[in-house]
Amino acid sequence: MTEPKVLVVGDTITDIIVMPEGPMVRGSDRRAIIRSKPGGSAANHAVWLGRLGMDVTFVSRVAAADLDKTAAYFASRNVDARLAADTELPSGVLISIVDSDGERSFLTDRGANLNLSAADLPTSLLDGVKLLVVSGYCLFTEGPRAAVSALLRGARERKIATAVDPASVGFLREVGPESFLKWTQGTGTIFANLDEALELTGSVDINLQMQTLGRFYDRVVLKRGVAGAAVGGRKGVALSMPAPLSDVIDTTGAGDAFAAAFLSSELKGQPLEACLKAGIAAGSEAVATIGGQPG
């Protein structure tokens, strides 16, 4: 039986992950573990979906010089990558500085991703698609936002399920929560972490967060880190589940793994409880390794 087709749109990034042994020493050295890993929130989603056996197409933009090796990488991960070659900008790079508890701070150069355009996203990409997943990074600059918004409208017109992940609380603050909600209103599902939900709603109360976001999205899924995850909407929390205790090495991509496993289970016809359980299990697996994509 053929798996439902999923289309993922967003950034391809190389993650430079820095895990210092202690606080930074201004003007001098600090020993650290430094690793270069494939990343980008949308790319992470796509690779996790491929690992879970889904029929996934990923659309992104990279430097022309990196096109062949990047396409080969995604092919090795069971992802059909439709990559546009950019002759102006380098491929995106992100520096992730990981604290001792696994939490991260980012320095982001989105590079070629900033030039994602309508030409990269023809409506033919939606043919046969059951689910469109969009990374919030696409919405934080004007050009990519216009292209992705048009694709979202096309998906809704075709009655294709849609999902969005805000992806960056820092960029959310720059554009303002009102703008993000306006741009993404009508999307079927939002996946938001604790900081993003707080920024979008102004509340720390999970029920109020659900009710507020439920005015804009059909379904709200909150990724709550060590507290697990919850699903709900206009009426508040419908289902909540804790996360198992696990050793946290690096939280990069844990939310992407969660969303991919949740959506994969749903597309395979699993009940909501099983989807939430699968998402939490994938997130727990992700935090136990360095980088945002499965090994």
Task: Name the token pair of 26.
Answer: 């201004």
Q: Give the CA count within 13 Å in the CB-facing half-sphere of 208.
A: 8
d(CA 17, CA 85): 25
Q: Torsions phi, psi of 30, nearest 5?
A: -145, 125
Res. 55 pLDDT band, cuts 50 70 90: very high
Res. 92 pLDDT band, cuts 50 70 90: very high
Q: Can you tell me the mean pLDDT for 94-100?
A: 85
Mean pLDDT of the chain: 93
SS3 content of the chain, % helix, strand, coil (to 5): 40, 30, 30
d(CA 245, CA 134): 30
The residue with tokens 């707080």 is 198
Environment class of 51 (CB within 10 Å of its CB; exposed 0-12, middle 13-18, buried 19+): buried
Residue 47 reports pLDDT greater than 90: yes
* Fold entry, domain 5-286: UDP-N-acetylmuramoyl-L-alanine:D-glutamate ligase (3.40.1190)
Could you report the per-residue pLDDT of 206-245, keeping only the tens digit for each? 999 999 999 999 999 999 988 899 999 999 999 999 988 7
Q: Where are the domains of the chain?
A: 5-286
Number of Cβ atoms within 10 Å of the Cβ of 34: 10
pLDDT at residue 2, rounded to an integer? 58
pTM for the model stands at 0.91
Q: Give the CA count within 13 Å in the CB-facing half-sphere of 284.
A: 16
Residue 31 reports pLDDT greater than 90: yes
Which residue from 231, 160, 188 is spatially nearest to 4, judged by alpha carbons? 160
Using DSSP bridges, classify how beta strands 161-165 and 129-135 pair: parallel, antiparallel or unpaired: parallel
SS3 of residue 175 by DSSP: helix
Res. 93 pLDDT band, cuts 50 70 90: very high
26 and 271 Cβ atoms separated by less than 8 Å: no
Residue 102 reports pLDDT greater than 70: no
Res. 1 pLDDT band, cuts 50 70 90: very low
pLDDT at residue 42, rounded to an integer? 95
Q: Where are the alpha helices (DSSP H) in 107-253?
A: 142-157, 169-175, 177-184, 194-201, 206-213
pLDDT at residue 289, rounded to an integer? 84
Torsion, Cα of 14, 17, 260, 279 (10° steps):
180
Could you report the per-residue pLDDT of 170-210, keeping only the tens digit for each? 899 999 999 999 999 999 999 999 999 999 999 999 999 99
Task: Name the token pair of 209.
Answer: 């967060």
Residue 250 reports pLDDT greater than 70: yes
Could you report the per-residue pLDDT of 59-69, keeping only the tens digit for each? 999 999 999 99
Residues 23, 287, 11: CA angle, nearest 5 degrees: 90
Q: Can you tell me the mean pLDDT for 41-54?
A: 95
d(CA 136, CA 242): 26
Residue 91 amino acid letter: S
β-sheet bridge partners, residue 89: none
